[in-house]
Amino acid sequence: MTEITVEKFYLNTRVLLTGGGGFIGSRLRKKLSGIGAAVYSLDNKPAAAPGSSDICCDIRDAKALRAAVAGVAPEIVFHLAACVDRAQTPDLIKPMLEANLFGTLNLFESLRGASSCRAMVVSGTAEEYGRAAAPFLESYREDPVGPYSLSKVCVAHLARMFFNVYALPVMVLRPTLAYGPGQEPVMFIPALIKTLLRGDRFPMTPGEQTRDFIYVDDLVNAYLHAGISGKGFGRVFNIGSGVPRKLMDVARMTAALLNKESLLDMGAKNYRAAEIMDYRVDISLAKESFGWSPETSLDKGLRLTIEDYAERPA
C-alpha cells in the first residue's frame, strides 16, 4: 500500500498506543499524529500535561486499564508496552510474565467484544526463535533464550487463542533489532556510536554474529501497514531489513563514518553463554500480506543516527 493510503486510513482514526513513551512507540506516535490520527498514548510514566491525550496507566492494573480503554473506544490498537530486559537471571521470569503476559491479557480482556476495535497489532520479538536455523520463518516452533523472549512467546500464543476463541482482530509482529535516532545507548548500535563519539575504546566480541538491524522508521511503517491490512489476524509476521550483517562489519562501517576505526576493540569480550550466532528473519510473508518493504539502507540509517547523537549533549 502507498503512503497516501496510509494517510487516508489513519486520518481522524482513534488509535490507542500502549508504550507510547518508548523508543519505537514515540516514533510511531509522532508518525500517527503527523498523518492526522487521534492518538491516545498509554504509558506507565506520567509525561503529559493534564487534559492531553496521554494516559498514565500500568497495564498490570486490569481495572484502570479497562476504564482507560473504554474511555478511548479505539478503532486501531498498537500494543508496544512491555518490560524489556534481556538478562537471563531466573529472578526475571515472574515479573516479566506479570508485565508482558498478564498485562497483555488485561488489554485483550478490555478489548474483547469491543465493537469499535477493527485491528490490534501486538509487538513481539525475533528473539522468540532463539537458536533456530536462520533465516527464521513464522512456521518455526519458538525456542526462547531468556525470560523476555519466553514472555513474548506466551503473548503470541495468547493472541492466537483470543483470535480463535473470541474473534479478537489481533496479529503479532516479530521485529528484529531496531535502531535509530533517540534510542537509549543500551543496545549495540547506540552504545557503539556514543562510545566512539566520546573518543573512548569500544570493547566487543569478535563480532562473527549475524544480525538484522531495521531502521526505526521502516519498523514504524510496518506497524502502520499491518494496522490497515484487514487481514492476517491470528497470525505472526516477521519484520526486518532483509539484509543481515555481521556485527564486526556493522562496527567497522559505523567507525569508518566517524573516522574512529582505531577505537574498535574486537575480541575484548566473550560471547554470551546463550549467544544467538545467526539472527535474521524471512520477511516475505509481511511483504506479501501488507505490501510493506523496508526502505532505509544500513549506511543511510547509521548516518541519520550518528547525526542525531552528534547533536545531543554528551
273 CB-contact burial (10 Å; exposed 0-12 / middle 13-18 / buried 19+): exposed
Give the per-residue pLDDT at 8. 93
Three-state secondary structure readout of 226-248: HHHHCCCCCCEEEECCCCCEEHH
Cα–Cα distance between 63 and 89 in angstroms, integer? Answer: 30
Which amino acid is located at 84 in the chain?
V
CB 288 within 8 Å of CB 175: no
Q: What is the pTM of this model?
A: 0.94
CB 69 within 8 Å of CB 7: no
Give the per-residue pLDDT at 273. 78
Three-state secondary structure readout of 44-113: CCCCCCCCCCEEECCCCCHHHHHHHHHHHCCCEEEECCCCCCCCCCHHHHHHHHHHHHHHHHHHHHHHCC
Residues 6+ apart with CB under 8 A from 212: 126, 176, 177, 240, 241, 242, 243, 244, 245, 279, 280, 281
Question: DSSP of 136-195, one letter per residue?
Answer: B-TTSPP---SHHHHHHHHHHHHHHHHHHHH---EEEEEE-EEE-TT--TTSHHHHHHHH
Give the per-residue pLDDT at 222. 98
Give the per-residue pLDDT at 269. 95
Q: How far is CA 196 from CA 176, 206, 248, in A?
A: 24, 18, 15
Residue 128 three-state SS:
helix
Domains of the chain: 3-178+216-241+280-295 (3.40.50.720)
Q: Which residues, given as ranges, of the chain have pLDDT below 70?
A: 1-4, 46-52, 313-314
pLDDT in tens, 244-276: 999 999 999 999 999 999 999 999 999 987 788
pLDDT in tens, 9-38: 999 999 999 999 999 999 999 999 999 999
186 CB-contact burial (10 Å; exposed 0-12 / middle 13-18 / buried 19+): exposed
Residues 6+ apart with CB under 8 A from 36: 7, 10, 11, 12
Query: Which residues face 17 on adjacent strands?
Result: 41, 78
Give the per-residue pLDDT at 274. 77
